[in-house]
A and B are shown apart, each in its own frame.
Chain A
Amino acid sequence: MKDGSGEDQNVAPSVYSHVSRPGSHRYKNAKKGLPFNVMLVGESGLGRTTFLNTLCERTVVSSNDKTNAEQAHIAEPMQFKHHTVEMDEDGMKIILNIIDTPGFGDGIDNEACFTQIQEYLETQFDEVLAEENRIKRNPKFKDSRVHALVYFITPTGHSLREIDIEMMKRLGSRVNIIPVIGRSDSLTPRELVLFKQRIMNDIAQYEIPVFSFPDGEDEDDEETVEENAELRAMMPFAVVGCEEVINEDGRPMRVRNYPWGVVQVDNDEHSDFDRLRYVLLNSHIGDLRDRTQNEIYELYRTEKLSGNTAALANAANAANVQQSSHIMTAA
């Protein structure tokens, strides 16, 4: 979306971030900065780029003007675009690495997209695995494992589509998936509630693994437990992208202007963007990182290392099955 009047239109820190919320984990990485890797996945036009800019509070990516009408019938393959932004969140320094995926789901046949993303995720794990096994480790090793994947769901108002189901099912075991509803300002409040319900029903029905704000094993802090339950009830987050910043009562506000009204991005009644931002960069950044390291990576590691023997066993089994089936048809 063109802002029209200069680059730093989006410089407007969240007006609600100074309101104290319970359960904010702090890390003492003040000097170096905490690395946090987030991948954004979703079809074009769902507000991914705008979300990126709004999250980082500056125009990281300018809107891509695909003005080439003659090429419109050719589907561009999916790409991985990396952006790094240094953020300061309540005094905590975060090195935010965002991986954008333009081209996802834009083709006529999108089977290949899933494998591409899966390979990317697994490559990062492989690098860490290799690094761990080195005799002399590199102190400056950059951990590029993806800690969270924000998946944009099209606001159809009905329920999940095949591409959503496939996507989250296949990648849920390799990364924390946080489903969000893009362009949620196309749904009335009632429609939004029903849509969220139906999505969560689908997620339960198809057993789709998404990040569901789990309470820690010995979590006895009531506030945290409550907060997690609250967040679970909010899922999936309804996101609205900001187009411009206006000055309202001297405070800058991120808004979308329509002939029938003005949507306030930071208003909790209009969108869940603010809450999501807080979850990603503040309250649950630790949980997301920990789960990636302790559960997801460990699972991959186990699979990979025992995978060599398992692969041989599988091959032997397959050969046996083939033989016996031959015997049966000959009889």
Chain B
Amino acid sequence: MSATDANGLASAQSASGGIGIANLPNQLHKIVTKKGTNFSLMVVGESGTGKTTFINTLLTTEIIEPLEDAARRKKQLDKTVDINIHKAELEEKMFNVKLNVVDTPGFGDFVNNIDCWLPVVDFIENQYEQYLRQEQQPVRKGIVDMRVHACLYFIRPNGHTLKPLDVRAMKAIGARVNLIPVIAKADTLSPAALRQFKKRVMDVIDAQSIRIYQPPVDSEDESTSLRNKDIVSAMPFAIIGSTQEVKTPDGRHVKGRQYPWGVAEVENDQHCDFKKLRSLLIRTHMLDLISTTEEVHYDKYRTTQMKTRKFGEPKPRKADNKKFREEEEMLRKRFTEKVKLEENRFRQWEQKLIAERDRLNKDLEQEHNLVKQLESEIEAISSVNSPNGKFFRK
């Protein structure tokens, strides 16, 4: 049945077909279909860039609810970047995806935005850390994997170029996770302006060595390669988000934004790159995003950590945020004050006890002296009463 060729390798060949190795992909398909998969997506950008709308449009469900006015006012001046995680389970044709969407309200929204990307970077690294620790446990059954597989960075369409904040943040984020830059609210740039803006953004990304996600382009069949090339050339993706259905002037019902001068359609490739981005995130490259995260980014983290730490040691804490340092100082001051108060109290108590002891000792001495006195009196009396007092005493 098996013939050996010139190199001595055994090639399995039979009259009816192979031994069945070719069926492995089908087995994998069944396994994956049963297990489902876990996908974490992060959205980063200033408020009002359409992050919430985009997520809800992408997944055609309201995963993130828009903030109410009262909640938004509370967030206006609090000067912090929050991390909010929204979980959802998606099912399509019997295939499950456990989806995590990480939102970052407060990013870049304040007058002073120094280090506002630190909470984002910390979150990403913490997920790697958690996974690393879980892997090192003796029981590895229920590992919770929250590692971020893709991070969408929403760029404001100011028509000129990337802001310094964008450059710094993207550099820090792109080094740790699959970074996909996205031009938000693209319906405010005309096609020519958009092309120019995209080119400028890519120029800055190259010049500043910002690492962004490069999807693999070449594949076996021509049409996939072509489609991939198409997707890559559209980066950064210009998107419009809308969960509402509107009617176009020529009578179609589409998802879009209705202006007095026309309807900007979400799923129209002439209007924006939404379909390409959706394809990248879900239809064609989701598994590549997941495997790149595991094989490249997580591995890099793991290597650097293992070089410097022993197995099972906890992670050393970095210098904290300025604001936290201030709070820490305050707490420390309060703590030392309390300790001082308690010490004073103890000292006073000690002094009281010492005073008490001295007093009691004095009393004791007095009694002692009294006893001595009485004894000497007795002596005196007995020696006075009988010169030869031996008769009485015996």
A160/B259 in contact, CB under 8 A: no
Say how far B307's CB is from chain A's closest CB, in angstroms. 29
Residues of A within 8 A of B171 (CB): 73
Q: How far is the CA of A328 from the CA of B46 in the complex (A)?
A: 47
Quick check: is A205 within 8 A (CB to CB) of the other chain? yes
**Interface residue tally on B, bucketed by range:** 35 or more
Quick check: is B9 within 8 A (CB to CB) of the other chain? no
Residues from 168 to 192 in B contacting A, C-beta threshold 8 Å: 168, 171, 185, 187-188, 190-191
Residues from 244 to 266 in A contacting B, C-beta threshold 8 Å: 256-264
Quick check: is B312 within 8 A (CB to CB) of the other chain? no
Quick check: is B261 within 8 A (CB to CB) of the other chain? yes
Quick check: is A219 within 8 A (CB to CB) of the other chain? no
Partner of A256, one of B49, B164, B190: B190
Residues from 270 to 325 in B contacting A, C-beta threshold 8 Å: 270-271
**Chain A residue nearest to B270 in the complex (CB):** A259
Total interface residues on A, using CB and 8 Å?
A: 53
B167/A45 in contact, CB under 8 A: no
**Chain A residue nearest to B203 in the complex (CB):** A69
A260/B109 in contact, CB under 8 A: no
B-contact 0/1 string along A59-71, CB 8 Å cutoff: 0000010110110
A258/B187 in contact, CB under 8 A: yes
Quick check: is A123 within 8 A (CB to CB) of the other chain? no
**Chain A residue nearest to B264 in the complex (CB):** A260
Say how far A102's CB is from chain B's closest CB, in angstroms. 10
B-contact 0/1 string along A219-256, CB 8 Å cutoff: 00000000000000000000000010000000000001
Residues of B within 8 A of A107 (CB): 164-165
Say how far B262's CB is from chain A's closest CB, in angstroms. 2
Given A162-B110, A205-B73, A260-B263 in contact, is the A69-B193 Cβ separation under 8 Å?
Answer: no
**Chain A residue nearest to B109 in the complex (CB):** A161
Give how many A-B residue pairs fall within 8 Å (CB-CB): 142
Given A43-B158, A72-B164, A73-B168 in contact, is the A159-B207 Cβ separation under 8 Å?
Answer: no
Given A72-B204, A108-B164, A258-B262 in contact, is the A188-B257 Cβ separation under 8 Å?
Answer: yes
A163/B260 in contact, CB under 8 A: no
Quick check: is A29 within 8 A (CB to CB) of the other chain? no
Say how far A117's CB is from chain B's closest CB, in angstroms. 13
Quick check: is B386 within 8 A (CB to CB) of the other chain? no
Quick check: is B103 within 8 A (CB to CB) of the other chain? no
B261/A264 in contact, CB under 8 A: yes
Given A74-B164, A108-B165, A185-B188 in contact, is the A159-B261 Cβ separation under 8 Å?
Answer: no
Q: How far is the CA of A210 from the CA of B262 in the complex (A)?
A: 34
A106/B190 in contact, CB under 8 A: no
B260/A45 in contact, CB under 8 A: no
Majority secondary structure of chain A interface residues (helix, strand, loop or mixed) = loop
Quick check: is B132 within 8 A (CB to CB) of the other chain? no
B113/A109 in contact, CB under 8 A: yes
B48/A156 in contact, CB under 8 A: yes
**Chain B residue nearest to A198 in the complex (CB):** B69
**Chain A residue nearest to B188 in the complex (CB):** A186
Residues of A within 8 A of B371 (CB): none
Given A1-B193, A108-B114, A111-B111 in contact, is the A159-B76 Cβ separation under 8 Å?
Answer: yes
Say how far B270's CB is from chain A's closest CB, in angstroms. 5
A-contact 0/1 string along B69-82, CB 8 Å cutoff: 10011001101000
**Chain A residue nearest to B66 in the complex (CB):** A158
Quick check: is B38 within 8 A (CB to CB) of the other chain? no
Residues of B within 8 A of A299 (CB): none
Given A69-B203, A106-B164, A111-B111 in contact, is the A46-B158 Cβ separation under 8 Å?
Answer: yes
Residues of A within 8 A of B262 (CB): 258, 260-262
B200/A69 in contact, CB under 8 A: yes
8 pairs from A and B in contact (CB 8 Å cutoff): A1-B159, A45-B158, A70-B207, A72-B162, A166-B111, A186-B187, A198-B69, A256-B190
By Cβ-Cβ distance, the 5 closest A-B pairs, closest first, are A45-B158, A156-B48, A261-B262, A261-B261, A69-B207
B-contacting residues of A (Cβ < 8 Å)?
A: 1, 43-46, 64, 66-67, 69-70, 72-75, 106-111, 154-163, 165-166, 183, 185-186, 188-189, 198, 201-202, 205, 243, 256-264, 269-270
